[in-house]
Amino acid sequence: MLFWTREEYTKFSEAMMDKPLSFYAFEVLYWCGIREGELLALTPADFDFEKRTLTINKSYQRLNKQDIITTPKTPKSNRVIQIPQFLCDELQDYLKQLYGVEPDSRMFPISKSYLYREMDRGCKQAGVKRIRIHDLRHSHISLLIDMGFTALAIAERVGHESIDITYRYAHLFPTRQVEMADKLDSLKNEKGA
């Protein structure tokens, strides 16, 4: 599993700033940890900028040259996530740049292959390792783990079962294991003293 550190993502995002559509798409993927299909289905109506929330309730795919909007991957994938204020501000700026956008218009009317090409371009320009689009989701999760959030809280945000997060990302929790053992030692020593 590949992921970017925050520093790698920052280099990449700076390289993407010349194309607002690409820049904002990658911002949402990295800072919200949503799936590619969920991103491509987003509409302005999915955002509540006052409450700073994003509702995930659909996914986009292209089948037989048709745009198809479906329900998300799993029942847990239907969720409302809090988004940081800076991202609310960025997305409001982005929406002002769109011509004739309706509440139910796709905000990112692009294809998965467009994102793939932009990922290639940004990685080359920024000099960061090439990861898959889906690895931005892993990058978001690893950032949250690094920030000390629990598997349960992270799972709720990204629409997973917490057990999945715990097993798939256990290798990112090693310091947590040491910290747990040290706290157990402290507890035992307090009581035993």
Q: Which tens digits make up the pLDDT trace of 44-82?
A: 999 999 999 999 999 999 888 888 999 887 788 899 999
**Residue 134 appears among annotated catalytic residues:** yes
Cα(141)–Cα(111) distance, integer angstroms: 24
Instruction: Name the catalytic one among 137, 138, 140, 157.
Output: 137
Element (H, E) at 62: strand 59-63
CA 157, 13, 105, 134 torsion: positive or negative?
negative
Say which of 11, 52, 73, 76 is annotated catalytic. 73
Measure the CA–CA gap between 131 and 50, rounded to whole angstroms. 33
Catalytic entry in 58, 79, 138, 160: 160
Residue 127 is predicted with a pLDDT of: 97
Structure tokens at 101: 């956008």
The answer to whether 160 is a known catalytic residue is yes
Cα distances (angstroms) measured from residue 79 to each of 38, 57, 108, 144: 11, 7, 20, 18
The active-site residue, picked from 35, 79, 140, 157, is 35
Q: What is the C-alpha to C-alpha distance for residues 115 and 119, in angstroms, rounded to an integer?
A: 6
DSSP code, position 77: G
pLDDT digits (tens, 9 = 90+) for 51-60: 999 999 999 9
Amino acid at site 59: S
Active-site hit among 51, 124, 134, 188: 134
Token couple for 4: 């970017």
Residue with tokens 């800072």: 31
Which residues have CB under 8 Å from 20's CB, separation 6+?
94, 97
- pTM for the predicted model, two decimal places: 0.87
- Convert the pLDDT of each residue in 132-189 to its tens digit: 999 999 999 989 988 888 888 888 899 876 677 767 776 666 566 677 778 888 888 8
| Residue 99 annotated as catalytic | no
